[in-house]
Chain A
Amino acid sequence: MKTKHVLVALMEDRKGVLNRVASLLRRRGFNIESLSVGHTDLPQISRMTIVVNGDDSVVEQVAKQLYKVIDILKVSDVTHEQAVERELALIKVAANAQTRSEIMQIVDIYRAKIVDVAADSLMVEATGTEDKIDSMINLLRGFGIKELARTGIVAMVRGAAGVTRLAGLEETTVEARDGRTRANLHRLAKQVAVE
């Protein structure tokens, strides 16, 4: 059954890593609904939230293929976790003296903010779940949306046991030099696995 899945991926903050992820998802025919990327508290590590549509086996395949990208450190499907999901939207709505107060009421109800006022428009900044943003946009549509920008969601698992903490990602090193023979290879790679 096709459902929306939210994947959180941690990756090396390197040139081209976004390209690697986007290219992989396109090539394997996975349908991305949204993708957002930014820094984490750890230097050199970026965090990406990817919303994909597909059944469980398709999404499992997405995660496995993502893991094969060398720059990707960890991939978690948080769909079935207790996770907070948030999206930010900037909405420019047509507004005049007659409609301005009504729009402001709606903005209040959704606990959004007016961040810019012009003679014929208001800019609204809203954060929340995807559903909340959708519902607010629906209400504002009647006034005339002049411009809309959405970030796509970012997600984080609730509680202390964050599934995307970098457990096991501490630096591992293996001897590089004498790895030519297969036996050595196995030994070297085994060290990595053990560590």
Chain B
Amino acid sequence: MAIRTSPNGGTSTAAPAARITGSRILCESLLREGVEVIFGFPGGVLLPLYDVLPEYPIRHILVRHEQGAAHAADGYARATGKVGVCLATSGPGATNLVTGIATAHLDSSPVVALTGQVSTPYIGKDSFQETDITGITLPITKHNYLVETLEELPEVIAEAFYIARTGRPGPVLVDLPKDVLMDEGTFTYPESIKIRGYKPTLHGNVRQIRQAAELINQAERPLIIAGHGVIISQAYSELRELAEKAEIPVITTLLGISSFPESHDLSFGMIGMHGMAYANMAVQAADLIIATGMRYDDRATGKVATFAPHARIIHIDIDPAEIGKNVRVDVPIVGDVRNVLTALNKHVENARHREWLEQLRTWRLQRPTTQIRETEQLLPQYVVRQLYEVTRGDAIIVADVGQNQMWAAQHFWYDKPNSYLTSGGLGTMGFSLPAAIGVKVGRPEENVWVVCGDGGFQMNMQELGTIAQEQLPVKIAILDNGYLGMIRQWQDVFYGQRFHHSHLLGPDFVKLAEAYGILGLRVKEKAEARPAIERAMAHQGPVLIDFVVEPSENVFPMVPQGSSLSEMLHEPID
């Protein structure tokens, strides 16, 4: 590897003469990238690495299944903004990461996945535990590498971390053959990175920013849709400045939740299939949409042809390929959301949109999605609301996928930046429990609550073992309805109530928790909900609460797939 001249004119001095193994060179490289924790699972080809890993100040968290490692690294990355690292052995270890890598890819999460590989002479021979993981992960990584010689290892690691965390973040996989880990060489870490095919655009075009400002200054019914990009670029205050300066209501995508304080006067909830009615109505009535750090997922837009029919559209995103991909655009701005909003705010004039806001408030009163109906039964919505009230919103909610995800989105007010994490793009059931491990490791001072269904929980419940072993005080709320709830809901609404294979038998979750030495609580009555949550908060270690909720509850409103956002199904009034 070439030693490059650093910008200040000096040459690399980081080259100790001693020859060390590839495993050590890998550890040294990870330290240079500031890696503090790895979520991993050992295997045959990784033994040379595991042999020396404890000698380095890098925490290793042993998961129970490699999928858990990938989700934990993803959760860590989302919660901290730093690159999350997972490690798995060759063959089945590597393929078990795949769902987690795809999850991180769809949600633009910076993850570096390290996989062991059989020694280079054995590659391509169908050797024991050999799989073509770079081939398999090609469409679900931002980039990937097969390291073929020890010489290239430090440079590959440096590039992998750089690519993962810059531009639109994403997962990068590095495949490490066993002989590369065992070979010896001297360690020199690259002073600089040279990737001529990779230059993310970070600053918006000035002319387009001016045009956008003009549209904003002229708009009568402007609407900001804030997406995950706001959180990734930490543009919270810039977004708030724009909204307040020109009095523009803000709605968010699912992953944009907690990019803007939900108790703010200008906050009007979430867009999409299970978005708030008033948020969807706002999109359909707006004369200007300012789409900020979002990619127009079909779950967010409904039928694209009828999306925002009266609006001009400004689309701000760091990924040029997202501009115009799904929804037409009038003013495209490619750049980092924070930079673009900073520049945009200088050109936006103070304005008031009283009538428009009044209209949105009226709609909110008419269709208050966040209202929970009064009933004797324990409703899942009520559980989420109690979580909000007990924590006073001071928690990071890691939601799973399905009904639980939507209720957690609807019935908790997220004022704290980056406090709602979920698998939005891939919709990975089983994400929440292992992801919460990563969140808690990355943000130990926060209250971390898993909100999941009994179906999703059972997909990765082996990670209770990890939580118990590491004594991670993660709190788990299972909304246990004995069904794959969202499947049941679709069968209820669209498939003539033929509930085929959506009813599932679960274990006794309380006993399961206890089997791991984790405090388990069961709640069947409304009155028990709040005390149980309070007890969980007071308990020092991890807690699992099995909330046995009303099984036939559906999520409303609901925009049927392929329908316009104007065509919502609402909660039936009993």
Q: Do A and B come from one complex?
A: yes
Instruction: Give the interface of A toward B (CB within 8 A).
Output: 11-12, 15-16, 19-20, 23-24, 27, 57, 60-61, 64-65, 67-73, 169-177, 179-180, 182, 185-186, 188-190, 192-193
Say yes or no for B162: interface residue by CB 8 A criterion: yes
Q: Which of A61, A180, A193 contacts B199 (CB 8 A)?
A: A193
Contact with A along B128-160 (1 / 0, CB 8 A): 000000110011001100100000000000100
**B203→A70 contact, CB < 8 A:** no
Contacts of A177 in B (CB 8 A): 32, 189, 191
* New A-B pairs, 18, CB < 8 Å, besides A27-B139, A190-B202, A193-B201: A20-B138, A23-B138, A23-B139, A65-B321, A68-B321, A69-B197, A70-B195, A73-B197, A171-B196, A172-B194, A172-B196, A174-B162, A176-B190, A179-B161, A180-B82, A182-B234, A190-B203, A193-B200
Q: How far is the CB of A76 from chain B (nearest CB, A)?
A: 14
Given A171-B194, A173-B4, A173-B194, is A186 in contact with B202 using a C-beta cutoff of 8 Å?
yes
Q: How far is the CB of A21 from chain B (nearest CB, A)?
A: 11
**B34→A68 contact, CB < 8 A:** no
**B138→A174 contact, CB < 8 A:** no
Contacts of B319 in A (CB 8 A): 68
Size category of the B interface is 35 or more
Residue of A nearest to B8 (CB): A175
- Which stretch (B41-49, B163-171, B257-265, B406-414) binds chain A? B163-171
Q: How far is the CB of A178 from chain B (nearest CB, A)?
A: 9
**B196→A73 contact, CB < 8 A:** yes
**A12→B197 contact, CB < 8 A:** yes
Residue of A nearest to B192 (CB): A173
Q: What are the 8 A-B residue pairs with the smallest beta carbon separation, nearest first? A: A64-B321, A173-B192, A180-B34, A70-B143, A176-B193, A73-B197, A173-B194, A189-B166
Say yes or no for B320: interface residue by CB 8 A criterion: yes
A-B contact pairs, 26 of them (CB 8 A): A12-B197, A15-B146, A16-B146, A23-B138, A57-B324, A61-B324, A67-B321, A68-B319, A70-B198, A73-B196, A174-B162, A175-B7, A176-B192, A176-B193, A179-B161, A179-B165, A180-B82, A182-B233, A185-B166, A186-B202, A186-B338, A186-B339, A190-B203, A192-B199, A192-B200, A193-B201
Residue of A nearest to B193 (CB): A176
Residue of B nearest to A166 (CB): B196
**B193→A173 contact, CB < 8 A:** yes
Contacts of B193 in A (CB 8 A): 173-174, 176
Give bound CA distance, A69 to B192, whole Å. Answer: 21
Give bound CA distance, A87 to B203, whole Å. Answer: 41
Given A188-B166, A189-B200, is A174 in contact with B135 using a C-beta cutoff of 8 Å?
no
Say yes or no for B325: interface residue by CB 8 A criterion: yes
Q: Which of A64, A67, A176, A182 contacts B162 (CB 8 A)?
A: A176
Given A60-B324, A70-B143, A71-B197, is A180 in contact with B138 using a C-beta cutoff of 8 Å?
no
Residue of A nearest to B325 (CB): A61
Say yes or no for B349: interface residue by CB 8 A criterion: no
Contact with A along B21-40 (1 / 0, CB 8 A): 00000000000111000000
Residue of A nearest to B338 (CB): A186
Q: How far is the CB of A185 from chain B (nearest CB, A)?
A: 6
Interface centre among B81, B166, B194, B196 (most CB of A within 10 A): B196
Number of A-B residue pairs having CB atoms within 8 Å of each other in the complex: 96
Give bound CA distance, A185 to B194, whole Å. Answer: 15
Contacts of B324 in A (CB 8 A): 57, 60-61
Q: How far is the CB of A193 from chain B (nearest CB, A)?
A: 5
Contacts of A11 in B (CB 8 A): 197
Say yes or no for B480: interface residue by CB 8 A criterion: no
Q: How far is the CB of B489 from chain A (nearest CB, A)?
A: 30
**A182→B81 contact, CB < 8 A:** yes
Residue of A nearest to B190 (CB): A176
Residue of A nearest to B198 (CB): A70
Say yes or no for B336: interface residue by CB 8 A criterion: yes
**A175→B142 contact, CB < 8 A:** no
Contacts of B142 in A (CB 8 A): 68, 70
Give bound CA distance, A27 to B196, whole Å. Answer: 25
Give bound CA distance, A59 to B325, whole Å. Answer: 11
Contacts of B162 in A (CB 8 A): 174, 176, 179
Residue of A nearest to B319 (CB): A68
Contacts of B497 in A (CB 8 A): none
Contacts of B321 in A (CB 8 A): 61, 64-65, 67-68
B197-230, CB < 8 A from A? 197-203
Q: Which of A24, A73, A169, A174 contacts B192 (CB 8 A)?
A: A174
Give bound CA distance, A189 to B167, whole Å. Answer: 8
Contacts of A188 in B (CB 8 A): 166
Give bound CA distance, A19 to B134, whole Å. Answer: 11
Give bound CA distance, A170 to B319, whole Å. Answer: 23
Give bound CA distance, A73 to B194, whole Å. Answer: 13
Q: How far is the CB of B11 from chain A (nearest CB, A)?
A: 14
Interface centre among A67, A170, A185 (most CB of B within 10 A): A185
Say yes or no for B6: interface residue by CB 8 A criterion: yes
Interface centre among A24, A72, A174 (most CB of B within 10 A): A174
Contacts of B7 in A (CB 8 A): 175
Give bound CA distance, A16 to B189, whole Å. Answer: 25
**B163→A70 contact, CB < 8 A:** yes
Give bound CA distance, A69 to B198, whole Å. Answer: 8
Give bound CA distance, A65 to B142, whole Å. Answer: 11
Contacts of B190 in A (CB 8 A): 176
Contacts of B336 in A (CB 8 A): 186
Give bound CA distance, A98 to B381, whole Å. Answer: 88
Contacts of A180 in B (CB 8 A): 33-34, 82
Contacts of A179 in B (CB 8 A): 161-162, 165-166
Q: How far is the CB of B157 from chain A (nearest CB, A)?
A: 10
Give bound CA distance, A156 to B4, whole Å. Answer: 35
**A193→B34 contact, CB < 8 A:** no
Give bound CA distance, A16 to B144, whole Å. Answer: 10
Give bound CA distance, A179 to B198, whole Å. Answer: 16
Contact with A along B75-113 (1 / 0, CB 8 A): 000000110000000000000000000000000000000
**B202→A176 contact, CB < 8 A:** no
Q: How far is the CB of B275 from chain A (nearest CB, A)?
A: 27
**A24→B203 contact, CB < 8 A:** no
Interface centre among A27, A71, A173, A176 (most CB of B within 10 A): A176
Give bound CA distance, A174 to B193, whole Å. Answer: 5
Give bound CA distance, A176 to B190, whole Å. Answer: 7
Contacts of B146 in A (CB 8 A): 15-16
Contacts of A20 in B (CB 8 A): 138
